[in-house]
Structure 1
Amino acid sequence: MSEFREFLNEQLKDPELKAEYDALEPEFAIIRAMIDARERQGITQKELAARTGIAQADISKLENGNANPSIKTLKRLASGLGCRLKIEFATL
């Protein structure tokens, strides 16, 4: 296990911190899905920007968790990645 993962697991023993971390899971999932799709395509942020008309700086902000994308932006990203956008509600 990586040092970071060990550190994170130790920190998540704190119930308050774990609750906050868990609350961010949807954002983390979107970021992971976007990066994974881009890397599967083998393209850079700059190439994705050219495909979508979204500035590379904005794609960087999205991938770093420093911006909240709209549904319209997610659709543009999905299209540029040759993917279909799927949003769902899962039972707890």
Structure 2
Amino acid sequence: MSLIFVIVIIYRSHTIRVLEPEYTIMQAMIDARTSKGLTQKELSIRSGIAQGDISKLENGNANPSIRTLQRLATAMGKTLRIEFL
């Protein structure tokens, strides 16, 4: 799983907006989980992280530690990679 801390979107009017890092992390988590065909509950069982906490992370209502991200990545058979661009 690759986490990129800045996403730039160019709109039709050529306005450039930068999305927050939290959105990037949330979307990467959701994409990784759904690509494996896992529900939040299944990921909870595999990772040992409460389903409610996974929901909070995916909804942007919590800030995951690197340790938590590593546990989630491992449970999904992914590699956690953090880059500074």
Into which bin does the TM-score normalised by the smaller protein fall?
0.7 to 0.9
1:61 has 2:61 as partner: no
**Alpha-carbon distance, 1:25 to partner:** 2.0
* TM-score after normalising by structure 2: 0.78
1:85 has 2:84 as partner: no
Structure 2 counterpart of 1:78, one-letter code: A
1:76 has 2:44 as partner: no
Q: Give the equivalent residue in structure 1 for 2:39.
A: 44
**Alpha-carbon distance, 1:71 to partner:** 0.4
Q: Give the equivalent residue in structure 1 for 2:27.
A: 32
The percentage of aligned residue pairs carrying the same residue is 65
Larger radius of gyration: 1
**Alpha-carbon distance, 1:62 to partner:** 0.1
Uncovered stretches (5+) of structure 2, i.e. residues with no partner? 1-10
Work out which structure has the larger RCO, using CA pairs closer than 8 Å and 6 or more positions apart in sequence: 2
Structure 1 counterpart of 2:20, one-letter code: E
Which structure has greater helix proportion?
Answer: 1
Uncovered stretches (5+) of structure 1, i.e. residues with no partner? 1-8
Structure 2 counterpart of 1:73, one-letter code: T
Q: Distance in 2 between matches of 1:56 and 1:88?
A: 27
Q: Distance in 1 between matches of 2:35 and 2:28?
A: 10
Which structure has greater strand proportion?
Answer: 2
RMSD: 1.4
Q: Give the equivalent residue in structure 2 for 1:5.
A: none
